[in-house]
Structure 1
């Protein structure tokens, strides 16, 4: 029997670990590439081996593999040549929605020896979407007593592109009574408003039909249209007014359906039928699927379920209308509060089935953990039980390696069952446990998988 090497003093172990982590962080500086969305599959993005300073064929000999967030393959690596190719067309709107810039993160893992490189791909927007209105027609009922300068809100179009490729301006078909202005209230979305230039005369012209056009900033620009039908009605000289122009509310993402979000309130100085107010949501289809408003009380309730990871903010335009079409408008800003509603996920990248004895700090397995929640709810710390001759070494952004703690003695014990290695952790002050993250329990029971110590 060979004599086991003496254990490294505790202070030397800590110093060694600190130096190793510092070197690891320096080596893991991200490499960033840029690519227009919708680029054809097979497009040569770069030679990753050359950019990393690796020799031709070194990726293959060192067991290189790509790791993508969510395990969705976006790029393809030719380990023989080092070429990095587009695996399939990448749609920026699908992958990033309205987030700008759109940056996709992935890692290159070299197994022998273990090394991890962080790589980022920025998808730039192309003008591949046209503005679209929620409806083909919109009805406005405007009293003939309306004075020049009166402003009427119009429905906004939606364009999934960003930056200059999204909606920049609105125009209206030429007429003597109205012009349109484009309002920018923060963010990228622009809203049209119809401004009355000349008083209406119902007896002269009881109805107008105008074409509203939304234009984006592409070259050439894309456009979308909607017909604005204007019905001129008789006198009703007071419009509903809201108690406040902006309502701000925070709603936990785990709120049950039909929960009360907020109550808006408007008042009309007119009496009788002219002063009767009805409330309505005035926005796109996504909000109609998420929220519902009581047209009489102004109570806004939760309708389909909230998901902080999918949508963190909602801005609703609420219209209060009276019987003759006079209307007032307010904005409801809803902030979704994150809850710890996602379980951490573990992905195994490497597993060693045979461990040489008397080889301290041998890498047994490499894995990563991921929690979709944000802030403290997504922060994780992993550990294993103390009675095993292994320890977890954090590497880079939730990557861990399972390493032998010291020299192992085959004559004392020649195998360790994988189900003995149980990962536990903590996320947002809640403990969780990965039971046998390396081999599923039913496989262990059937095949009795284990680590073998070589002599």
Structure 2
């Protein structure tokens, strides 16, 4: 019994020894054989005849049982054992199998038995031109400012072509046009990028939109193509100033026109759009009197009355109106308002001489001398004087507006002793008067003139006739010294307070004498002295001027006010010396002076964002008085700088097991412009769906974050185009190359190709099993070691990627280990039976070292087909 058991145990051991011998395998040549076939070739098509390469004759095929071994479960190739032909098992799509990788190689092995041999081979799938270039968008929209200079380039979306090599995308063309030509640039990865280059300056007012056809061409024969529309929106800049329909508006307004009356409507237009085309109307350098009398609607340009007009005070107004657009450019016009006189002033009669008693026997005796006046003009000032018709008196005109009342026949006292004469005056003119003058600001009591002498009277006669001064209104500016006959100032006179800008400044008064009654008209002209300096209404002017404003442009400035008149009034303007501006002094129709700033040299905001100048107003007095104002000029930015990335190419590496939301890289761009033109937003530039799923770009910070787990085995490199765009539509481009770094995250896989069970006990070096191993990882992470335990009567021979180590190893397990960083052992249980059933090759889950014994034992217990004892039949 013991002998039988020992014999049985010996036989079992011998059978197990024979089962695990791997030493008889040979590999026919280390270099693989190469074949090729065009993609999309029909299933069953001939690839090559392998008899010569395998060293076989047609009669050897049955005995050697050749077959194709391919990686994976899908069998794309078939070997015909009748003819030795290698055939396609299915139609091959190069783009589906390899994507952009070129060459596209499908490795396979030919396995021969009796004796066992491996032949390494590969089939190259040749690309055919079965795909046309395709743009992701049917229309590409570019927003380009009309201020962009010729020579500027704009990167536009590239097309995609799934074909490779000569069949891939090779060039681009653009439809003929006068503004752009196409420039091709090669990216760091070798991709052809189309760029539009501006040939001549754009003009939005001339052509607000341009449509081009961009065509992508591949290199096939015949070539395939794809097209997209490039729609260019020309963004407006403020290159047009408002222009009035008329430079001079002349209107007439009745002096009794009501408050709110529409005097005129001024209209300007601006060829620009948006804010640059929105116009607002304001008074330019208007006096206080104009601002009190008129109001302008800043939106409609409607000019309205805000107080009643008086022809006798002011006969006309000259209004300067400025139209300003949203970018600071302006145009101006003049409204000349002529006040139309109405007969709103009653005539006035001034009696100069009156004789109450006359002899009855004298003819043509002068009874009275009088004058008439009316401040109205034209027909309203023409005068008619009359008396009753049935009286022995007539009126005779004398000098202008003076009349005498005389008898036209002898009077008879006995018939009639007295007459009541009514003089009727209509439309009277201005009477003649005596004129005096005095400089303003003279002290109270200043001697103007001696009236007694001027009237040919003595002081005593002047007093005896009760001479008194009669002035219009309640205020009295003069007094008469009856003892001396002197005309004196009753108070200090301020010409500016009395007359404002009116010149000459004349005060009217009358001398009334009694016995006989006599009115004598007089005038006093108040002479201006230079007691006021020119004054600006503000301490500082702020001007906003676009940096692309052409030299020669005139910028109206606020004028100074000087209350003095004549030569003492404002005469000239000067400005601090500088290289950009000079000032001109202009005269209005009313002879008031105003300044204009003239640009001499183009401004550059990036070079000098602001300037401060001092404007000085000078009058003509001796010595001259002056006033100053600071002009603070803000140079407005135009979008003349595109964003620029700090790097045109960012190259980063990231582990494929990196967590979500990891920041891969931060792209950064800068823009020399300010405000909205310098505000940068980041976006992917025509990114594929895969890139948008995998990465997220923060539009504000430029951080690129991971939003999808990476898989080196699926995609190992991403080329991400990033665009930085400013608020004016200009953009810059950069490329981010993301290289996915492989980690050892895939276990080796072992696939059984052939197994022989049972086998005779007396056949040493019999091949028991053939298997292949693979690992999706790369580099050292994908290099593998195959081993079995050393104390078993089996051996292993290399036939591919698997190397065989030396040394002990745990029983009943085959170990396949990665040699890369963080490598682990993955163990597979090998079982065989001694009965007629087929041998079993069981794949276990990867077992980490600390779980090796526990997991192995559990798996062995779970397998009912794996035993430690064998029975022979």
Structure 2 length normalisation: TM-score?
Answer: 0.46
What is the CA distance between 1:442 and its match in structure 2? 8.4
Q: Which residue of 2 aligns with 1:422?
A: 813
Query: Greater CA deviation, 304-313 or 126-135?
Result: 304-313
- The equivalent of 2:151 in structure 1 is 149
In 1, Cα distance between equivalents of 2:712 and 2:665: 19
Q: CA deviation at 1:56?
A: 1.3
Q: For 1:39-438, what aligned pairs fall within 5 Å after superposition?
A: 39-233=41-235, 234=237, 235-285=638-688, 286-398=690-802, 421-427=812-818, 428=820, 430-436=823-829, 438=841
Structure 1 residue 432, shift from structure 2 partner: 1.8
Q: Which residue of 2 aligns with 1:8?
A: none
Q: Which runs of 4+ in 1 moved over 3 A?
A: 24-29, 439-455
Distance 2:27 2:117 in 1: 11
Residue 64 of structure 1: how far off its partner (Å): 2.1
C-alpha separation in 2, matches of 1:442 and 1:65: 33
Other structure's SS at 2:824 match: strand
**Per-residue deviation at 1:159?**
0.3
The 1-side partners of 2:51 and 2:827 are apart by: 35
Moved more, 219-228 or 70-79: 70-79
Gaps of 5+ in 2: 1-6, 12-22, 238-637, 805-809, 831-840, 844-858
Following TM superposition, by how much is the alpha carbon of 1:385 offset from its aligned partner in structure 2, in angstroms? 2.2
TM-aligned CA distance change 1:52 to 1:296, over 3 Å: same
- Deviations along 1:74-106, whole A, 9 cap, x unmatched? 111112221211111111111122222222110
The number of residue pairs the alignment matches comes to 423
Contact 1:369 1:399 in 2 (8 A): no
**Offset at residue 398 of structure 1 (A):** 2.9
Q: Aligned partners of 1:238, 1:217: CA distance in 2, in Å?
A: 37
Change beyond 3 A, Cα 1:278–1:27? closer
From the superposition, tell whether residues 41 and 185 of structure 1 become closer, same or farther in structure 2 (CA, over 3 Å).
same
Q: Higher RCO, 1 or 2 (CA under 8 Å, sep at least 6)?
A: 1
Q: CA deviation at 1:284?
A: 2.8
After superposition, the CA RMSD in angstroms is 2.7
Q: What is the distance in 1 between the residues matched to 2:766 and 2:57?
A: 25
Moved more, 424-433 or 218-227: 424-433
- Change in Cα spacing, 1:107 to 1:319, as seen in structure 2 (3 Å) is same
Partner of 1:445: 863
Shift of 1:158: 0.5
298-307 vs 235-244, which moves further: 235-244
SS at match of 1:354: coil
Gaps of 5+ in 1: 5-16, 401-418
Partner of 1:36: 38
Shift of 1:32: 1.3
The 2-side partners of 1:442 and 1:448 are apart by 7
Distance 1:177 1:151, change over 3 A: same
Note if contact 1:66-1:109 (Cα within 8 Å) is conserved in structure 2.
Answer: yes
Tell me which residue corresponds to 1:414: none
TM-score (norm 1): 0.86
* CA offset digits 1:104-159 (Å, max 9, x no partner): 11001113321111111111111000001111111111111111111000000010
Rounded to whole Å, the distance in 2 between the matches of 1:442 and 1:127 is 54
Q: Distance in 2 between matches of 1:169 and 1:443?
A: 65
Displacement of 1:186: 4.6
